[in-house]
Homo-oligomer: A and B are copies of this chain.
Amino acid sequence: MDAKRAKTGVVRATTTAPVNIAVIKYWGKRDTKLLLPINSSLSGTLDQEQLHARTTVAASSSFEADEIWLNGKQEDISNQRLQNVLGAVRALAAKKDPEHPLKDAHIKIASVNNFPTAAGLASSAAGYACLVAALAELFGVQDQELTAIARVGSGSACRSLMGGFVRWEKGTRDDGADSLASQVVPESHWPDMQVLILVVNAGKKGVSSTSGMQSTVKTSALINHRAEVVVPQRMKDIEKAIQDRDFQTFGRITMQDSNQFHATCLDTYPPIFYMNDVSRQIVQILTQYNDAAGEIRAAYTYDAGPNCVIYCLKQHVQEILSLVCHYFPSSESEFVRGRSTTASDYSSTVDAAVREKISGPTTADGVKYILHTGIGPGPKTLTNEDAFLIAEDGSVKQQA
């Protein structure tokens, strides 16, 4: 247990947690309070070097109430999902030790992201996973049940509690006790797997995923067939592809499942649109690129927004970066970020034979920037004082 007890009697723990990007999409709940899904899902956990949430939790009998600060700003902690998470962790701690030293202590929470929350990069999953990991540290509880606790904060948060590739079983029990996340393979299994996130310039955000998925469940004539027939087979097939490091199968299923998720959104009444013309243009360029290469080299997937996430292998990263830079020229000074900071020249990187089979308009500034990242580990506990967002005396530190 790495929780730090200061002389002041304030006990603290700080963790970071990753973002995850699903390749088999979660869309639709069978229980909207317990956040139980109508189908299992599977995701890659992204490298925290590029994207992570960082959370410090502190407990003290001297605190008069539970409080939360997000990105340096105090927020209302009465939020139902937050209360569900706090209550569930306290209950788990009490189950393990009825006389738990923190059982009556109030808790202060401070959390920040190292990336823009608004960019549509699954920040809530990282945020709730980080909160649960930090509380688990604080209370000294470690249990797969923690994934069920993260789930009641934000469904897909349960997949951010482990590294590598992670499955979230839909489960069958009404109480959700078997709707848990577990690791398919650790991050070390497939080191060549890379991730490129194309942040697309978009207008106002579309329908929230919480209301959108319930509208789909209520009105789509196709969603049940997807959940009951299509997804179970895809889960088996993509898990095997990951075990075998079979990128062709992995990439095909990833693209097909992204397409089908957006298809069920369109089959919703009234229809829900998350992809825009730039998103579609990216799909068409990558489809031509894969066809020209005679193999799948870039596997796109889209969540509830226009951003494109590309899973690809290390040897094709520069080719794909140069392709995107060619068709989406940008005036942005830091257009390529993360593991790569520049893109090679298109004509010198991509074979002429491949290039001549790709065509389409170029769209200036259609893509805001590209983040190059990869697959990484689960939450990490930090112990150096600099990492703490709450000081020894229990006060929330000012953000630089």
List, sorted by A's number, 14 A–B pairs whose CB atoms are closer than 8 Å.
A221-B226, A221-B256, A221-B260, A222-B226, A255-B270, A259-B267, A263-B263, A263-B266, A263-B267, A266-B266, A270-B283, A271-B283, A273-B283, A273-B284
Complex Cα distance A269/B256, Å? Answer: 6
- Asked whether A361 is an interface residue with its Cβ less than 8 Å from the other chain, the reply is yes
- What copy number does this chain have within its complex? 2
- Asked whether A262 is an interface residue with its Cβ less than 8 Å from the other chain, the reply is yes
Complex Cα distance A264/B263, Å? Answer: 7
Q: How large is the interface on A (under 10, 10 to 19, 20 to 34, 35 or more residues)?
A: 20 to 34
Which of B262, B276, B287 touches A277 (beta carbons < 8 Å)?
A: B276
Identify the 8 closest CB pairs spanning chains A and B, nearest first: A263-B267, A263-B263, A263-B266, A270-B287, A225-B225, A277-B277, A221-B230, A259-B271
Nearest B-chain residue to A255, judged by Cβ = B269
- Asked whether A98 is an interface residue with its Cβ less than 8 Å from the other chain, the reply is no
- Asked whether A116 is an interface residue with its Cβ less than 8 Å from the other chain, the reply is no
Q: Which of A233-264 contact B (CB under 8 A)?
A: 252, 255-256, 259-260, 262-264
Nearest B-chain residue to A221, judged by Cβ = B230
Which residues in B have their C-beta under 8 angstroms from that of A225? 222, 225, 229
Identify the A interface with B (CB < 8 A): 203, 221-222, 225-226, 229-230, 252, 255-256, 259-260, 262-264, 266-271, 273, 276-277, 280, 283-284, 287, 361
Which residues in B have their C-beta under 8 angstroms from that of A255? 269-270
| Pair A260/B222 contact, Cβ less than 8 Å | yes
Which residues in B have their C-beta under 8 angstroms from that of A256? 221, 267, 269
Given contacts A255-B269, A259-B269, A263-B264, 18 further A-B contacts (CB under 8 A): A221-B260, A222-B222, A222-B226, A225-B229, A252-B269, A256-B267, A256-B269, A259-B266, A259-B268, A259-B271, A260-B266, A263-B263, A263-B266, A263-B267, A271-B283, A273-B284, A276-B277, A277-B277
Complex Cα distance A263/B261, Å? Answer: 10
Nearest B-chain residue to A288, judged by Cβ = B270
Which residues in B have their C-beta under 8 angstroms from that of A284? 273
Nearest B-chain residue to A262, judged by Cβ = B266
Complex Cα distance A226/B263, Å? Answer: 13
